[in-house]
Amino acid sequence: MNAQYGQLLRNGFAPAQPILDRSGLHELEARHAGCVPPLMERAGQAAANWALELIAPARGPVLVLCGPGNNGGDGYVLARLLREQGCEVLLVSQNPAGPLPPDAAEARERWLAAGGQIQRDFVGTRWALVVDALFGIGLKRSPEGLHAEWITRLNAFSCPVLALDIPSGLDAGTGRLHSPCVRASHTATFIAHKPGLLTLEGPDHCGELRLFDLGLELPAGGARLIAPGLFAGCLRRRARNVHKGQFGAAGLIGGAEGMQGAALLAARAALHLGPGKVFLGLLDAAAGGVDATQPELMLRRAGDLFLLASALALGPGMGQSEAAMLLLRRGLIFSGPLLLDADALNMLADDAALHALLRQREQPAVLTPHPAEAARLLQASTSELQSDRVRSARELARKFRSVVVLKGCGSVIAAHDGAWFINASGHGGMAAGGMGDVLSGLIIGLLAQGWSPLEAACAACHLHGVAAEDLAAEGIGPVGLTPSETIRAARYRFNAWLAAS
Ligand-binding site membership of 202 (annotated): no
Ligand-binding site membership of 49 (annotated): no
Ligand-binding site membership of 136 (annotated): yes
Ligand-binding site membership of 317 (annotated): yes
Helix (H, G, I), strand (E, B) or coil at 319: coil
First to last CA, the chain: 14
Ligand-binding site membership of 425 (annotated): no
Ligand-binding site membership of 408 (annotated): yes
Ligand-binding site membership of 409 (annotated): yes
Ligand-binding site membership of 140 (annotated): yes
Q: Are strands 249-254 and 366-367 parallel, antiparallel or unpaired?
A: unpaired
Structural contact between residues 133 and 67, judged by C-beta atoms closer than 8 angstroms: yes
User: Which amino acid is located at 204 in the chain?
Assistant: D
- 346 vs 320: CA distance, rounded Å: 8
Ligand-binding site membership of 165 (annotated): yes
Ligand-binding site membership of 71 (annotated): yes
Ligand-binding site membership of 44 (annotated): no
126 phi, psi to nearest 5 deg? -90, 80
Ligand-binding site membership of 319 (annotated): no
Question: What long-range pairs does 213-216 form, CB within 8 A, spacing at least 24?
Answer: 214/39, 214/42, 214/43, 214/46, 214/190, 215/42, 216/28, 216/32, 216/191
Ligand-binding site membership of 452 (annotated): no
Structural contact between residues 234 and 460, judged by C-beta atoms closer than 8 angstroms: no
Structural contact between residues 72 and 93, judged by C-beta atoms closer than 8 angstroms: yes
The β-bridge partners of 411 are 423
Provide CB contacts within 8 A for 98, sequence distance 6+.
68
- 461 vs 387: CA distance, rounded Å: 22
Ligand-binding site membership of 141 (annotated): yes
- 411 vs 239: CA distance, rounded Å: 33
**What does DSSP assign to residue 11?**
T
Ligand-binding site membership of 138 (annotated): yes
- 366 vs 349: CA distance, rounded Å: 15
Ligand-binding site membership of 495 (annotated): no
Structural contact between residues 230 and 13, judged by C-beta atoms closer than 8 angstroms: no
SS (H, E, C) 227-262: CHHHHHHHCCCCCCCCCHHHHCEEEEEECCCCCHHH
Provide CB contacts within 8 A for 187, sequence distance 6+.
162, 163, 164, 165, 166, 167, 197, 206, 207, 208, 209, 210
Ligand-binding site membership of 370 (annotated): yes
Ligand-binding site membership of 450 (annotated): no
69 phi, psi to nearest 5 deg? -135, -160
Ligand-binding site membership of 436 (annotated): yes
Sheet strands (E) in 129-207: 129-133, 161-164, 186-190
Residue 388 burial by Cβ neighbours in a 10 Å radius (0-12, 13-18, 19+) = buried
Ligand-binding site membership of 411 (annotated): yes
Give the torsion sign (CA, 108, 113, 114, 116). positive
Ligand-binding site membership of 281 (annotated): no
The binding site for K(+) comprises 71, 132, 168
- Tell me the binding residues: 70-74, 132, 136-142, 165, 168, 262, 317, 370, 407-411, 436-437
Provide the annotated binding site for AMP.
407-411, 436
Which residues carry a binding-site annotation for (6S)-NADPHX?
70-74, 136-142, 165, 262, 317, 370, 437
